[in-house]
Structure 1
Amino acid sequence: MTATSPIQYRIVPADLAAHLFRVTLTIAQPAADGQAVWLPVWIPGSYLVREFARNIVAIRAYDGERVPVALTKLDKHRWQAAPCSGTLTLEYEVYAFDLSVRGAYLDEARGFFNGTSVFLAVAGQETMPADVELVAPEGIANWRVATTLPQAGAADGAFGRYYAANYDELIDHPVELGDFTQATFTACGVPHDIVLAGRHRADMARLQADLTRICEYQIKLFGEPAPFSRYVFMTMVTGDGYGGLEHRASTALLASRDDLPLAHETSIKTGYRQYLGLCSHEYFHSWNVKRIKPAAYAPYDLTQENYTRLLWAFEGITSYYDDLTLVRCGLIAQQDYLDLLAQTMTQVERGAGRLKQTLEEASLDAWVKYYRQDENSPNALVSYYTKGALVAAALDLTIRKRSSGARSLDDVMRALWQRYGKDFATQGQGVAERDWEQVAQDATGLDLRDFFDLALRSTQPLPLGELLNEIGVQTQLRASAGGSDKGGWKEIAAPGNSIGAKLAAEAGGIKLTQVLDGGAARAAGLSAGDVLVAWDGLRVSMGNLDALLGGTPAGSTVEIHAFRRDELIVRKLVVQTAAVDSWGLRAPAADAAGRAALDAWLGGH
C-alpha cells in the first residue's frame, strides 16, 4: 500500500457523548460528470434491509481547493456530487449507538463499527484499493484497536493507517476500539486473538484453551492451511446479550457477563457452552458462506435483497457443526450433545410453521419472514437455522448409512471447499441453486435425490428419529412438562395440561405473546396481546397458572376474563392435554453392542 491509494478514508471518534463518528472520504479521481457515492442497505450475514444511511446525520462535499461542491441525495442511500476539479472530499458524521454486532457503536467506554455503517462506497470504483486512517479520540490515552484490516503503517493494536484491496474487503473487517482485554493463542500455526470489551471476570486462559480446540478441529476438517493469516474473536460483554456475525477473518460477538468462564469453574456451564457454540458457529462460517457461498452472493449486491434458496445449507449446516464441533473436539460429552440435538428437535416440533413452509421457501423468505418475525411466526414459518441443522444431521446419518460408514457430510463439505471455497478469491464462483445437491452426490457416490426432495421441498417429517435409533440412540417423543421444558429426556408419569400459547408476566395478569395453531387459546378466540386476568372467577398470574391448569381436568370448560387493549372480553376455554412435542435422546451404555456407528458419527470418523 502507498499513500497514493485512489480512495482515502479517515475515521475519528469525534463526540463520544453524542455517539458520533466523523468520517472523511477523499476520492483522487472523481467521475468527470459528477461522482456518486452510496452506503449499503444491509450487511452480509444478516438478511434484513437495515437502511444504514439513516444514521448519516450531516454530509458535505469539497473539491481540491476546499471549495464547496453541491451534493444531491438521490434516494435513501445514494448521493450525487456535482462535477469538480481535482480531488473530491466528503465529510460526514455517523450516529453510532447500536449495541449489536451489525452496526456501529460509540460512547465513553468503547467504539465499534462495521464498514457497512460508516464507509461510503465510491460508485464505479468499488474494486479500487483504499487507505483507512483510524484516529484516536481526543483526551483518551488508553484506547487500542482490534481489527483484521491489513496494517499499512499502524503498529499492532494501534491507531494509524490500514489498507483494503477493495470495498468488499473494506467492509468485511469490523473494528473494535477501547481499553479491552486481549489474549492470543495459536491454532494450526495461525495466531488468533480473543478480545473482550466491557466489564468481565472471564478466565482468559480457559478461553484460550477451549477456543484452540474448536479452531484446530475446524481447520483440520477442511484441511490446512487456514484461509486467513490471523483471526480475531471480538466480544462485547454485557449484562444480558447474545449474538454473532461472521467476517472473513474475524467475528463480532455479544455475550452475557455471567456466561463467560470464571477462574474457579472447571465444568462447562450452560451459558458458557452456548458461548462456545456461538464462537464455533461464526468460525465455521469462515469456510461456509464467507468463501463457499451461494451464487446469489458472488458478488453481493448491497443495494437490495439478495435471494437464495440455499440458506439452509449455509446457516443450517453451520448450526449443525457448531455444537457437533464441541463434542468432536472433546469439550462436551456425547450425552450433552444429544441433549442439545433433542432441544433443537423440540424447537422445530413445536412450531406449526414446519407443516406449511419448506426449507427452500424458508431460505428464500428470510428477508421478509425470518428477520421480521411477529406474534404469528411460529404458526407460519420454519427456521432454516434449526430445521436446517436437523436436515444436516439427517443427511450426515443418511450418507453414513447408505455408504456403510465410508462417507459422511464431512466429505461433502471438503468437496465444496475444494471446488468453490479454496480459490474463491481468484475464481469468485458461488454455488448455484441445485449445484450443492450435485456436489453432495458426487462426493459420496450416492443417489440422494429422494432425501433432498423430502427434506428441502416438502413439509413431511424428517426420518431423524429412525436414523438415530439405527445407531443405538434411544428416542422419546413426549408431552411438554411446562413452560420451562426445552426438551430432553424426562420420565413423566402423565402429561400435563396446556392452553396452547406462549406467555409472559404482565402487570395484573398474563400476556399471551403467541397463540399457537390447534391450541385451546386459539379455539377459545383469544389472540396474541390479550392479557388474562381471571380464570373461572379467580385472579390469574404466572405464579398460579400451573396450579389452576393442573387442577382442571382436560376437556373441562373454564371462563376466561381478559383485556384486549383496554376492553374486557370473556371467553370459554376448553382445557387441553399438553401436546406431544418434546424430544428426548439417550445414548446407549458405553459397553453396549453396536456403538461403533454412534462413536464414528460423534467422533468425526
Structure 2
Amino acid sequence: MIQYQIVPINPHAHLFEVTLTLDKVSGREVELYLPNWIPGSYMIRDFAKHIQWLKAESAGQSLAVKKLDKARWLVDSCGGDDKPIEVRYQVYAWDLSVRGAHLDQTHGFFNGTSVFLAVKGQEEVQYKVNIQPPAGEAFKNWRVATGLQPVDGTKEFGFGWYQAENYDELIDCPVEMSDFRLISFDACGVPHYMALTGQHKVDEARLKNDLIKICEHHIRFFGEPAPVERYIFMTYVLGKGFGGLEHRNSTALHCSREDLPLPSDDPEKVKDSYQTFLDLCSHEYFHTWNVKRIKPAEFLPYDTQNESHTELLWAFEGFTSYYDNLALVQTGIIPIKQYLLTIAKTITTVQRARGRLIQSVTDSSFDAWTKFYKQDENAPNAVVSYYSKGALIALCMDLLIRKLTDNQKSLRDVMVRLWQEFGQPQIGVKNDSIQTITIEVCGQQHQKELDDFFQLALYSTDDLPLVELLKTVDMELVFQPRNDRNDKGQVKDEMPHNKPKPSLGIEYQGANLGITVKSVYWDSAACEAGISAGDQLISMNDLKIDNDEFAKRLAECEIGETVVIRGFRRDELMRFEVTLKASVADTAYLVYCNDEKDESSKLKQWLTH
C-alpha cells in the first residue's frame, strides 16, 4: 500500500503540503512522476511546475533526490532494505479551473493529477489518502466531497482516510473541501449528490427534480444497473464561469450564479442560462459511460506522461454533446421548440466556422492537443470543433438509422452495443468499431449508403446531409444571412427571406476606445483590405465607432460600398479602404414543414423515443 497525507497548509498562500509514504522499498532507487495532462482535457499542462519543493527521508535520514526531467524525480533509497520512505512536497494551488488545484480561505479543490506523485511500477497497488482540513476555527464547518471511498472510520463527507484501488482511480476522483451546500437525491436507487460551493441562491427542489430526471434517463438509456455506487456533482458557483470535467463517479463543474434556478423564476419556463447548466450536468453525467468506460483503444491505459492521440473524440465528445440536451427534451424539462432552437444554434456554429472546409472532424480529434486546445485568432479559419460537428454527426446518424430501419432502430442501439461490447468488458474502441456496429444495427443491405455517409462525415470536409435528413422528421433547414450580431439561429413557422447586409467579415468585442478585432474570416472584405486580428478600430468614414455604434454605422452602408476605417495596430495608426461584401448565409433556420408545428408525429417520435 502507498499512503498520502494532504493538508491545506496555508490557504492564504494557496499551498497544499503532501506527504507520500512508501512502507517498503526494495532496490536502490525509486522513481516518482506527476502526470503532464488530465484525462478529459487533451492538452499538456505540466502540473509539476506547481511543486514548490520536494524532500525525501528514511528513518530520519535525508535521501538524495535527483530530478530527471520536468515531471520525474529519482529518490536514492540508500539500499532499500525494506525501510519506509517519506517524501514531502508543497504544491501551489491557484488554478481556478476544473482541471487543476485551487486553494484559498473559502475552499480547497484538487485533482489527483495535480498533487499526487505516482511511484513508477506501483500504479496497480492500493492507495490510501488522509485528507486533512486547514488549521483554525474559521474552517470548522468545512467538509469533503469526493468520489473516493471513505475508510478506517471516516464519515461520509468527513475529513480522514480515503481509499483507491489503484493510481488511475486515485487521480480520477477530485476533491472539494469547503462549507458547501449539499443536495442529496436517489436516481434508479443510486445515491447522488450536488455540492454547491460559492455564494449563491437556488431553487433546490427544482434543481433536484431536474437532476433526477436527467440521471435516471441516462441510466435507463444504457440499462440498469448504473455503473457507479454513488455519484457527486462538485459545483463551484462564480460570478462568471462555465466548464466541466468528467470523472468515473463524479464531475467537477463551474457555473455562473445566474445559471442556477431561483425560487422567483417562472416554473413553466426554463431560462437559457439554466438550460445551459442542465446541459452541462447532463453532458458530464453521460460521460460516465461514454469516455470513462467506453474508451478509445488509445486510452487503455491512459499514458498521462505523453500525448495520446485518437481520431475518435468526435464520437466521445460529439455524441455526448448530442445526447446532453436531447435528454432535456425527452424528459420533458424543455419543450420541443426550445430544443430545436439548440439544434439550430449548433448548426450555425459549425456553418460559420470556415475551418470546417479545411479540417475533417477526425483530424480535429487527432490534433486536439495542438489545435483545438490551443486555438489562436486564426482558429475560425482553420479548426472545426469535434464537439459541435460531432454532435451534428450524431444527429445525422440518429435520423439516418431511423430512416433505414423504419424507426425500429436508432443511435441508441449503437450506444448500447458500445456499452455492452466495449464499455463493460473494458475493451478499447477502434477507429472503425462504431461504423461496424452501425452497419450491423441497420443491416448489411445498407452498407454502401452507410460507408458513403461515414466517408463524407468523418474523413472529408464536405457539408453533412442535414437538409435531407431533417426533412425525414418534417423539418426544413435553410441558411439565411444573420439578422444581427446576436442572431445565432432560429426556429420559424414559415420560410424566412432575410436580405443580405453589408459585412466586414470579422468577429469583434468592445474596447475602451472603439472595438478590438478578435478574428478575421479569410474570405471577407476585412481580410482583403488588410484588417487583422488584434487591430483596434476607432472610426469609419471619419465617425467614431464603439461596440454599439459599429453595427449601426455598418447597417447604413450599401453592399459594394467602399468605406475608410482607421485603427491602431499596436501603437501605429492604420488606414484601411474596405469594399463591403454581402453577409454570408451561414445562419441556420429550422422551419416546420407542415401546419402541425411541433406536433408532427415524425418529429415527436424522434424527440420522445
Separation in 2, partners of 1:126, 1:227: 23
Superposed displacement of residue 468, structure 1: 0.7
- TM-superposed deviation, 1:31: 4.3
Cα distance in structure 1, aligned partners of 2:483 and 2:126: 58
TM-score under structure 1 length normalisation = 0.96
Letter of the 2:279 counterpart: G
Question: 1:199 aligns to what?
Answer: 199
Equivalent of 2:124 in 116, 124, 127: 127
Query: What is the aligned partner in structure 2 of residue 436 from structure 1?
Result: 434
Distance 2:517 2:201 in 1: 38
- CA-CA distance at 1:444 after TM superposition: 3.0
Change (3 A) 1:161 1:590: farther
* Inter-CA distance 24–594: structure 2 relative to 1 (3 Å threshold): closer
Counting only pairs closer than 5 Å after superposition, residues 529-548 of structure 1 correspond to structure 2 as: 529-548=534-553
Deviations 1:257-290 (A, max 9, x none): 0110001211211000000000000000000000
Alignment of 1:328-367 (within 5 A): 328-367=330-369
**Which deviations, in whole Å up to 9, do the C-alpha atoms of 1:192-223 show, x marking residues without a partner?**
00110000001111111000000001000000
**Contact kept in structure 2, 1:472 and 1:594, CA below 8 Å:** no
2:40 aligned to which of 17, 39, 45:
45
Is contact 2:592-2:598 (8 Å) kept? no
Where do residues 136-175 of structure 1 align in structure 2 (5 Å cutoff)?
136-139=133-136, 140-153=139-152, 154-175=154-175
Tell me how far apart the structure 2 counterparts of residues 295 and 277 of structure 1 sit (CA, whole Å).
27
- Residues 525-572 of structure 1 show CA distances to partners (whole Å, capped at 9, x for unaligned) of 111011112211222222211221111111011111121111111111
1:443-454 maps to which residues of 2 (within 5 A)?
443-445=441-443, 446-447=446-447, 448-454=450-456
Matches within 5 A, 1:5-404: 6-63=1-58, 65-84=59-78, 85=80, 86-139=83-136, 140-153=139-152, 154-265=154-265, 266=267, 267-404=269-406
Whether the 8 Å contact between 2:337 and 2:598 is mirrored in structure 1 is no
Q: Give the Å deviation of 1:498.
A: 1.3
Bigger CA drift: 590-599 or 320-329?
590-599
Secondary structure at 2:373 match in 1: helix
**Mapped partners of 1:314, 1:550: distance in 2:** 42
Aligned-partner SS, 1:372: coil
Structure 2 distance, partners of 1:416, 1:225, is 16
Change (3 A) 1:246 1:593: closer
CA deviation string 1:5-26 (max 9, x = no partner): x200000011010000000000
- Give 2:558's aligned residue: 553
- Alpha-carbon deviation of 1:406? 1.2
Aligned partners of 2:91, 2:485: CA distance in 1, in Å? 43
Q: 1:206 to 1:409 in 2, by over 3 A?
A: same
Q: CA-to-partner distance for each residue in 1:143-165, whole Å, 9 max, x for gaps? A: 00111101112101100111000
CA–CA separation in structure 1 for the residues paired with 2:478 and 2:258: 32
Alpha-carbon deviation of 1:489? Answer: 3.5
Distance 2:418 2:258 in 1: 38
What SS does the aligned partner of 2:158 have? Answer: coil
Matches within 5 A, 1:402-441: 402-424=404-426, 429-441=427-439
Question: For the residues of structure 1 that align with 2:92 and 2:595, how far apart are their CA atoms?
Answer: 57
In structure 1, what is the Cα distance between the partners aligned to 2:163 and 2:439? Answer: 41
Percent same amino acid among aligned pairs?
Answer: 47
Q: Does the CA-based 8 Å contact 2:598-2:604 persist in structure 1?
A: no
CA-CA distance at 1:467 after TM superposition: 0.8
CA contact (8 A) 2:529 2:576 kept: yes
Residues paired across the two proteins, number: 594
**Which residue does 1:460 correspond to in 2?**
462
Alpha-carbon shift at residue 588 of structure 1 (Å): 5.5
- TM norm structure 2: 0.96
Residues 165-191 of structure 1: CA distance to partner in whole angstroms, max 9, x if unpaired? 000000111111010000111110101
Relative to structure 1, the CA distance from residue 167 to residue 593 in structure 2 (aligned partners, 3 Å threshold; closer, same or farther) is closer
Deviates more, 1:156-165 or 1:429-438: 429-438
The question of whether the paired residues in 2 share the 8 Å contact of 1:96 and 1:106 is answered with yes
| Separation (CA, whole Å) in 2 of partners of 1:196 and 1:264 | 19
Cα distance in 1 for partners of 2:284, 2:595 equals 32
**8 Å contact from structure 1 (residues 415, 443) kept in 2:** no
C-alpha change, 1:535 and 1:471, in structure 2 (3 Å) is same
State the 1:590 CA deviation.
7.7
Counterpart of 1:74 in 2: which secondary structure? Answer: strand
Q: Kindly provide the CA deviation profile for residues 298-337 of structure 1, in whole angstroms up to 9, marking residues without a partner as x.
A: 0000001000010001000000000111111111111111
Give the Cα–Cα distance (whole angstroms) in 2 for the partners of residues 226 and 493 of structure 1: 48
Q: Deviations over 1:70-124 (max 9, x none)?
A: 0011000000001334011100000011111000111001001110000000011
Using the TM superposition, name which of 480-489 and 585-594 deviates more.
Answer: 585-594
CA distance, structure 2, for counterparts of residue 293 and residue 56 of structure 1: 31
Given that 2:474 and 2:594 are in contact with CA atoms closer than 8 Å, whether structure 1 keeps it comes out as no
User: Quick one: which amino acid aligns to residue 49 of structure 1?
Assistant: I
Once residues 458 and 213 of structure 1 are traced to their aligned partners in structure 2, the CA distance between those partners, rounded to angstroms, is 38
For 1:383, give the aligned amino acid: S
Q: Does 1:602 align with 2:607?
A: yes
* 1:42–1:49 CA contact under 8 A, matched in 2: yes
Structure 1 counterpart of 2:504, from 499, 508, 513 = 499
Shift of 1:496: 2.1
Render the CA deviation track for 1:347-391: whole Å, top value 9, x for unaligned: 000011000101110110100000000000000010000000000
1:338–1:587 contact (8 Å) kept in structure 2? no
Contact 1:557/1:573 (8 A) holds in 2: yes
Measured after TM superposition, the shift of residue 476 of structure 1 is 2.6
In structure 2, do the counterparts of structure 1 residues 120 and 571 end up closer, same or farther at CA, with 3 Å as the change threshold? same
Q: 1:461 to 1:493 in 2, by over 3 A?
A: closer
CA contact (8 A) 1:499 1:520 kept: yes
1:400 alignment partner, SS class: helix
- Between 503-512 and 335-344, report the one with greater CA deviation: 503-512
Give the letter aligned to residue 140 of structure 2: A
Q: Distance in 2 between matches of 1:210 and 1:115?
A: 30
Unaligned runs of 5+ in 1: 1-5
- 1:577 maps to 582
In structure 1, the residue corresponding to 2:490 is in which secondary structure? Answer: coil
